[in-house]
A = this chain, B = another copy of it.
């Protein structure tokens, strides 16, 4: 144990939340105090970002009519996805994939506009902006779990349609609809495992040394 390490109890708490975070789609009623939402967003804002660009923009949806419109977008994409899945269409439609209408707080996380001016760490990998935003969302997710709140990241939507709905300028891009709020309980394991949609692979299959020797058919959990 080195001198910069946290206490054993702190370390245990951090590993606990990493293991117990779940992508939630089932919510119960209840509100978040404003200061709690602010804490969670502050956790997101502590994320690393490439060249310190802080590309994340959050839109809090408080207008009930807008929430319905967002739900409609998600449901439309849910059916298009089902069709695209072919033989698993009916099985997919049985899954609960979002809690947009039930969650206490609905947030849209978006990449900012004018990102092309940021070159540091992005000349060859411009998608590092999304990587940064994703780290921010993971922070939010972990903080929410610790506070006993569930969160789900919904990516079933047409980003252009959602951008128009929120009056985003060209260049900005929504990448997450975040459903956040009280839940009755957290899933014991990822819901897609319980629902027999997919199986998780063990870590050792995903780590190698010095060169790529993963199997040619590198499917974790074939969907089709």
Contact = CB atoms under 8 A, between A and B. Distances in A.
Given A14-B14, A222-B117, A59 B125 contact: no
A18 B43 contact: yes
Contact of A60 (B54, B60, B193, B209): B209
Nearest to A83: B123
Report the copy number of this chain in the oligomer: 2
A117 B223 contact: yes
Contacts of A134: 130-132, 134-135, 138
B6 A16 contact: yes
Contacts of A208: 57-60
Nearest to A14: B146
Given A155-B125, A209-B62, A210-B61, A51 B192 contact: yes
